[in-house]
C-alpha cells in the first residue's frame, strides 16, 4: 500500500535575531501579519494540505506558541459574555485547528538538528517539514502540491522557486539535471553557495516532503555552512542513495524572516483585507505624495 504523508515538523526554535529587540521576550513565530501570528499561517497550510499531526520544535522562550494553540478559557468566557462571537470563533479556531505536539530543541545547532530532534515522532514514515519564515499563498496549498508529487513518485520532494542571482547565497540551491514540467531531477543540493558560485537560481523555499531515511544522515550530525547542522547537506546525502526531486511550486511566497519582507507581507495581506484595504491605500497614497514633495 502507498504511504501517504500525515505528519509534519515545524521547526520554531530559532532565536529571531533579525527582529531584536522585539524577539527578546517573544518568539518570532508569534509576530503577527495583520491579526494572525506567522506560525498560524504555516499550521493552516499544513492542515489544508491534509496533515493530521504537527510537531513544533520549540526552544527556550517559546511558551507563547503553546499558549496560542491551547484553549484560553477565561478569554473565551469573557468574549462569550460580551457577545463577541466572531472574535470567539477566531480564538477557538487556533486551539482546535490540529493535533499539535511540542518538543524542545535543547541547543540551537541548526535546522538539520531541529528536524532530527523530532525523529521519535516520525517513526518509519514519509513526513513534511514546513519552515516558518516562508508563507505561501497558492490556489492549491504549497505543501499539498509537493504531496501530490510524492504520491506519484514515492520520493522526497523539495519545494523550490526562482530567486534573483544576487539572492542565491541566502538559500539552499539546487543543481538540476533534467526537468519534467515543474519537477526536477537534482544532481546536487548546496546550502548557501558563495556569491557567484550557485549552480542555478532555483532556491529551496521551506517546504519539504522527506522519506524517513533522511534520519540516517541527520544522525551523523555533520557540521556544515555557518557552523550548523544543515538539513540541505543531509538531503544531498539522501539524494546519493535514492531519488530526491525538486518541485517548482505554484504560488506567491512571502519572506517573513527578515524585516523588509515582513513589512511587505504585512502591507500585501492588509491590502487583501476588505476592512483595511481602502483606508490603507489612501494612507499610502498620501505618504508617497508627501515623500515626493
Ligand atoms: C533555511 C534552509 C535553506 C532554505 C531557507 C528557506 O535557511 O537552510 O536551505 O533555502 O531556509 O527560507 P535559513 O533561512 O534558516 O538560514
pLDDT tens digits along 249-273: 999 999 999 999 999 999 999 999 9
Contacts of 218 (CB under 8 A, 6+ apart): 112, 113, 115, 116, 119, 229, 231, 234
Q: Ligand 1 centroid to 268 CA: how many Å?
A: 23
Q: Is 206 close to ligand 1, i.e. is its CB under 6 Å away?
A: yes
Question: Which of the listed residues 167, 190, 206 should we mutate to test ligand 1's pocket, taking the one with most ligand atoms within 8 A of CB?
Answer: 206
58 falls within a domain: yes
198 falls within a domain: yes
Q: Ligand 1 centroid to 234 CA: how many Å?
A: 14
Residues 158 and 221 in one domain: yes
Atom 7 in ligand 1: which residue has the minimum CA distance?
171
Residues 101 and 52 in one domain: yes
31 falls within a domain: yes
Q: Sorting pLDDT into bands at 50, 70 and 90, what band is 291?
A: confident
Question: Which of the listed residues 164, 171, 191, 200 should we mutate to test ligand 1's pocket, taking the one with most ligand atoms within 8 A of CB?
Answer: 171
DSSP 226: G
Please check the confidence at residue 1 and state whether its pLDDT lies above 60. Answer: no
**Hey, which bits of 117-276 come out as E strands?**
127-130, 134-137, 156-162, 172-180, 183-191, 202-210, 244-248, 252-255
Q: Is 190 close to ligand 1, i.e. is its CB under 6 Å away?
A: no
Q: Is 172 close to ligand 1, i.e. is its CB under 6 Å away?
A: yes
147 falls within a domain: yes
2 falls within a domain: no
66 falls within a domain: yes
Q: Sorting pLDDT into bands at 50, 70 and 90, what band is 108?
A: confident
Residues 272 and 218 in one domain: no
1 falls within a domain: no
Q: Which of 94, 163, 160, 159 is nearest to 128 (CA)?
A: 159
Angle, nearest 10°, between helix axes 274-292 and 259-271? 120
Q: Which three cell numbers stand for residue 60?
A: 527556550
For residue 65, what are the domain limits? 7-255
Atom 9 in ligand 1: which residue has the minimum CA distance?
172
Residues 113 and 191 in one domain: yes
288 falls within a domain: yes
pTM of the predicted structure, to 2 decimals: 0.94
Please check the confidence at residue 3 and state whether its pLDDT lies above 80. Answer: no
Residues 278 and 249 in one domain: no
Q: How many CB atoms lie within 10 A of CB 240?
A: 9
Query: pLDDT tens, 53-104?
Result: 999 999 888 999 999 999 889 999 999 999 999 999 998 988 888 999 999 9
Q: Ligand 1 centroid to 284 CA: how many Å?
A: 32
Please check the confidence at residue 184 and state whether its pLDDT lies above 90. Answer: yes
Residues 187 and 71 in one domain: yes
Q: Sorting pLDDT into bands at 50, 70 and 90, what band is 2?
A: low
Distance CA 214, CA 272 (A): 39
134 Cα nearest atom in ligand 1 = 12
Residues 262 and 196 in one domain: no
Q: Is 205 close to ligand 1, i.e. is its CB under 6 Å away?
A: yes
Q: Is 11 close to ligand 1, i.e. is its CB under 6 Å away?
A: no
Q: Give the chain's domain count.
A: 2
CATH code, 119: 3.90.550.10
Instruction: Give the percent of the chain with pLDDT over 90.
Output: 86
Residues 189 and 242 in one domain: yes
Residues 219 and 291 in one domain: no
Please check the confidence at residue 20 and state whether its pLDDT lies above 60. Answer: yes
Q: Ligand 1 centroid to 63 CA: how many Å?
A: 24
Residues 34 and 123 in one domain: yes
Query: pLDDT tens, 143-174?
Result: 999 999 999 999 999 999 999 999 999 999 99
Q: Which of 103, 61, 107, 102 is nearest to 221 (CA)?
A: 107
Residues 140 and 230 in one domain: yes
Residues 245 and 262 in one domain: no
Please check the confidence at residue 292 and state whether its pLDDT lies above 80. Answer: no
Amino acid at each position: 500500500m502507498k504511504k501517504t504523508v500525515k505528519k509534519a515538523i515545524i521547526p520554531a526554535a530559532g532565536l529571531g535575531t533579525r527582529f531584536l529587540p522585539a524577539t527578546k521576550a517573544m518568539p518570532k513565530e508569534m509576530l503577527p501579519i495583520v491579526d494572525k501570528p506567522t506560525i498560524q499561517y504555516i499550521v493552516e497550510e499544513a492542515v489544508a494540505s491534509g496533515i493530521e499531526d504537527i510537531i513544533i520544535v520549540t526552544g527556550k522562550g517559546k511558551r507563547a506558541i503553546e499558549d496560542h494553540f491551547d484553549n484560553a478559557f477565561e478569554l473565551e468566557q469573557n468574549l462569550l459574555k460580551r457577545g463577541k462571537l466572531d472574535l470567539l470563533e477566531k480564538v477557538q479556531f487556533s486551539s482546535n485547528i490540529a493535533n499539535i505536539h511540542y518538543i524542545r530543541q535543547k541547543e540551537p545547532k541548526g535546522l538539520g538538528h531541529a528536524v532530527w530532534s523530532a525523529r521519535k515522532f516520525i517513526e518509519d514514515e514519509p513526513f513534511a517539514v514546513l519552515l516558518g519564515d516562508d508563507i505561501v499563498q497558492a490556489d492549491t496549498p504549497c505543501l499539498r502540491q509537493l504531496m501530490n508529487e510524492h504520491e506519484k513518485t514515492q520520493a522526497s520532494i523539495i519545494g523550490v522557486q526562482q530567486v534573483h542571482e544576487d539572492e542565491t547565497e541566502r538559500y539552499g540551491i539546487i543543481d538540476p539535471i533534467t526537468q519534467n514540467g515543474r519537477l526536477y531531477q537534482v544532481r546536487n543540493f548546496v546550502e548557501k553557495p558563495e556569491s557567484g558560485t550557485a549552480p542555478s537560481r532555483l532556491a529551496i523555499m521551506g517546504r519539504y516532503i522527506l522519506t524517513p531515511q533522511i534520519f540516517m544522515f541527520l544522525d551523523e550530525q555533520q557540521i556544515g555552512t555557518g557552523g550548523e547542522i544543515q538539513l540541505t547537506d543531509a538531503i544531498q546525502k539522501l539524494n546519493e542513495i535514492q531519488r530526491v526531486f525538486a518541485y517548482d511550486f505554484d504560488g506567491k511566497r512571502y519572506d517573513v524572516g527578515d524585516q523588509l519582507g515582513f513589512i511587505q507581507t504585512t502591507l500585501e495581506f492588509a491590502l487583501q483585507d476588505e476592512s483595511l484595504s481602502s483606508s490603507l491605500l489612501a494612507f499610502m497614497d498620501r505618504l508617497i505624495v508627501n515623500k515626493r514633495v
